[in-house]
Chain A
Amino acid sequence: MRIAVIRFPGTNCETETIEAVRRAGGAAQLIDYRETSLGGCDGVILPGGFSYGDYLRSGAIARFAPVMQPIKALADTGGIVIGICNGFQVLCEAHLLPGALLHNAAQRFSSRPVDIRIERADLAVTREFAEGECIRIPQAHGEGRYVADAETVAALEADRHVVLRYVSVPGSDMPHNPNGSVADIAGICNPAGNVIGFMPHPERLADPVLGSDAGHRFFTSLVQAGAVEMTG
């Protein structure tokens, strides 16, 4: 699998995202938002940042960029599409995932480590984890409060489409649910499980030189998922 990492005007996490994929042994390539094809890539990461300055609503304008057409086509045919932070916001605005992300309940930008639990360990970015495993990775966002109507949230829970959830780890000094997301949701997937969006930033903690590489396995999972897909 070759991963297209998309850059919109205002994206700022593309370099470390590409680096994280490569560190995990995968191939990644930067794709400009004006492109109408994915240049032969068969997987996509929409990285973090502030596409179009977060004007109007975060992700609202990026949704209409030319590159979203081939991304939607890939998603519709079961291809892997991952949204990290602003990428998650774009996927919600594009209706590739349900719900929306609003200003944090505390009305402050939240840049800190968070404890999250892996709720699904059978997806493209989580297969190298154990279900229920808790890890600590960074988050950095002003609009990360996941909201959806009650029926949508009930369906996400019943169908196990919640992928990552904020948790309090005993003895931790980290705040539980740092943005006020409904049901402590940090990340979700679509019914087919091939479109996945989450707020925390595993690519920012994917190299042991930083003191932890807790996010590394998101990318080894992704590379592994691609290898399985190619041979199977």
Chain B
Amino acid sequence: MMFRVHVRVTPRPGLLDPQGTAVEHALHALGFAGVGGVRVGRAVDFALEAADEAAANADATRMCERLLANPVTETFTVAVES
């Protein structure tokens, strides 16, 4: 079966995220005064052939652990849709 996988990688909580801080300052400058806690991460979307949704999920998780995220500095979530 073909699945669409959406991986979301974000800086670990507590880790300084200078990109997030810069974006937050820019949003404040634009008048969005209520914004706080901005974190900038990355999204990786791809198609994946797998036996079933559980297999697709397991595959994508292994990809995150090996390449797409660095466990030292990042956390990730995987969402699979058919």
Identify the A interface with B (CB < 8 A).
Answer: 56-57, 60-61, 64, 92-93, 98-100, 102-107, 145, 147-149, 180
Contacts and interface: CB of A to CB of B under 8 A. Distances in A.
A105 B70 contact: no
B70 A93 contact: yes
Contacts of A100: 70, 72-73
A60 B70 contact: yes
Interface of B: 15-16, 18-19, 21-22, 42, 67-68, 70, 72-73
B19 A103 contact: yes
A99 B67 contact: no
Nearest to A64: B67
A148 B15 CA distance: 10
B22 A180 contact: no
B72 A107 contact: no
Contacts of B15: 102, 147
Contacts of A106: 18
Given A106-B18, A107-B19, A107-B22, A148 B70 contact: no
